[in-house]
Amino acid sequence: MSNQNNITSVLRETRVFHPSADFSHKAHVGSFAEYKRLWESAREDIEGFWAEQAKSLAWFKTWHTTLEWKAPHAKWFDGGLINASYNCLDRHLNNGLNNKAALIWEGEPGDTRTLTYQMLHREVCKFANALKLLGINKGDRITIYMPLVPELVIAMLACARIGAVHSVVFGGFSAEAVADRNNDAKSRLVITADGGWRRGKTVPLKANVDQAVEKSPTIEKVVVLKRTGQAIDMHPGRDLWWHELISGVGSECPAEALDSEHPLFILYTSGSTGKPKGIYHTTGGYLLGAAYTHKLVFDIRPDDVYWCTADAGWITGHTYLVYGPLANATTIVMYEGAPNHPAEDRFWEIIAKYGVTVFYTAPTAIRAFMKWGDQFPKRHDLTSLRLLGSVGEPINPEAWMWYQEVIGGGRCPIVDTWWQTETGSIMIAPLPGAVPTKPGSATFPLPGIVAEIVDKEGKEVGANEGGFLVIKKPWPSMLRTLYGDDERYQKTYWENTPGSYFTADGARRDEEGYIWIMGRVDDVLNVSGHRLSTMEVESALAQHHYVAEAAVVGKPDEIKGEGIACFVTLKSGIAATDSLKAELRDFVSKSIGALARPDEIRFTEGLPKTRSGKIMRRLLRDIASGRQTSGDTTTLEDYSVLANLRSDEE
């Protein structure tokens, strides 16, 4: 087998953490043997397994065909009628949960609100009726561009209630990004706010919408929530205040019985071509994936207080802040602002204040917490926590251990989850009462998910051989296409490994079958004929006690093909010196081998990241290679980081 067909894996991690007997005893799945039985039975009868799981949802009409698969297009629960808003609200009222807290919200300035399931239902119905008054019909696309406030969730569920298709755009995006998404989806309406709070300052959401709408010919109306009270321009005839729109509107709005394959939302992800990809998800299958995985992976219990820190503008916010938890009648926590405002302990303060039991955040946030110091979490009582989660990118073992020891107090299992905007819900993760965990491994596919690691010919690779992660069988929450571009859908996800969904992630299985995600295949280094994972080199750097975070990319090298360039952020108080660069080079070489010895190390105060926290290695490759930045940069969180890196070029 050619080295060009697979990826050389150099990271080795031997620590294993078993769930406690008490946790396993209370868990939905309480042993590894039980997990294996579930997974095997699901693999033998994928359709029967998912049909059985779908019974947990409330259907207005049962489906006649569980799966219609005409590769690469799926229809799940064809003929079934369902409504996501009904499943997240009405059925819980029917089960006597009217007064259970659905949403506990805290604004960045410190204002708070709690909505019970009955109160949330009432607000959703009122806004759904308001949308109808504006002439919004089933199938119309609606852009939602708001801060992380309860009305964002209300707007999403109101759209779902009447069959409108929402396109949530993260509130940190520019006017240009909003316009691009409006036009691709041909949205009729924008729902926004005057502004939102971020690190003590207001974000000019309405002003951005005004600019975007100038370039968005299909937009007819703009609904504006009053959040900050900042001065804005209201355009007569086009702009409407939220509070005035719902005034006097009825609080009863029956949920539409929608076909299982009716579109629920379009969610845009950045594309390397500069054109965002509209990921297209439908109702029944997506909702099942959200509810099933949320219950199983987070081992959800009726008394949990659950906090997913993601914004609803990302798929993690869609699935594990809104649809999954509310479908499972969970009490969710939402926080509007930044984790370090007014101080670096804001998250820990919120956990202690509300008695959060399950906490789900990103590795990039965990590494930021590490950099800020242990003193901040130690100020607060975090003993309410019983389970921790990680999402967004592979978590390096050093961050995993810090999370487990400092935040979890050594008692909380960690569920390291792998999935994508395209998959809709978690695909690979430990079931916390059943699966022993290894720091940095997402462990095993969930029951109902058939994943393999293959070479370029589609042949499964051996233990500890890196390859390409693919999904062999369709699953309910999978994307159905790219909105308006089915050809790109087929080419991107199905042509690389025919017959399988191509994740574009590298991975390996160890000798015990644990899956280790090695990052995007376009983040692989070609060093002297070996394909190395950037994530593994980053993990080695992060084990050094002076390093807070690292990003690794390739740079052209006449002899080796590619050299290894490392961008390193140091912990507070550590001086950036040439001797430390040499020490880090030696450290990586000793940790994972001379092959991975860095050619270049650059110290930096920050790394270019998307607003969801992922490092934009494509931009770092441009810098390391001395090229001008190309492609889509609309998701970049802080443009000054890029400017500073360019000014520091050696």
Residue 428 CB burial class (10 angstroms; 0-12, 13-18, ≥19):
buried
Question: What is the structure's pLDDT at 396?
Answer: 85
Question: What is the structure's pLDDT at 620?
Answer: 86
On the CB side of 545, CA atoms within 13 Å amount to 0
Residue ranges in 415-533 assigned as alpha helix (H): 486-494
Mean pLDDT value across residues 406-434: 97
User: Residues 196, 203: contact at Cβ < 8 Å?
Assistant: yes
Give the 3-state secondary structure of residue 588: helix
* Residues 451-502 pLDDT 10s: 999 998 899 999 999 899 999 999 999 999 999 999 999 999 999 888 899 9
Which domains, from first to last, does the chain contain?
21-486 (3.40.50.12780), 522-647 (3.30.300.30)
Q: Which residues contact 359 (CB under 8 A, 6 or more apart)?
A: 307, 309, 351, 385, 387, 388, 389, 407
Question: What is the structure's pLDDT at 619?
Answer: 84
Question: What is the structure's pLDDT at 64?
Answer: 98
Question: What is the structure's pLDDT at 648?
Answer: 56
- Nearest alpha carbon to residue 514 among 419, 439, 458, 457: 439
* Residues 173-190 pLDDT 10s: 888 889 999 999 999 999
Average pLDDT, the chain: 91
Question: How far apart, in whole angstroms, are the C-alpha atoms of residue 496 and residue 446?
Answer: 24
* Residues 486-496 pLDDT 10s: 999 999 999 98
| CA 388 vs CA 23, 379, 385: distances in Å | 13, 19, 8
pLDDT at 402 over 60: yes
Phi, psi of 560 (to 5 degrees): -90, -10
* Residues 206-221 pLDDT 10s: 999 999 999 999 999 9
pLDDT at 167 over 80: yes
On the CB side of 415, CA atoms within 13 Å amount to 31
pLDDT at 627 over 80: no
Question: SS3 for 356-388, per residue?
Answer: CCEEEECHHHHHHHHHHCCCCHHHCCCCCCCEE
Q: Give the pLDDT band of residue 559 (cuts 50, 70, 90).
A: low
Give me 634's structure tokens.
Answer: 């609309």
Mean pLDDT value across residues 19-47: 97
Question: How far apart, in whole angstroms, are the C-alpha atoms of residue 595 and residue 500?
Answer: 32
Q: Give the pLDDT band of residue 13 (cuts 50, 70, 90).
A: confident
Question: What is the structure's pLDDT at 276?
Answer: 77
Handedness of CA 623, 624, 628, 634 (dihedral sign): negative
Mean pLDDT value across residues 612-633: 72
* Residues 238-268 pLDDT 10s: 999 999 999 989 999 999 999 999 999 999 9
Model's pTM, two decimal places? 0.85
Question: SS3 for 255-270, per residue?
Answer: CCCEECCCEEEEEEEC
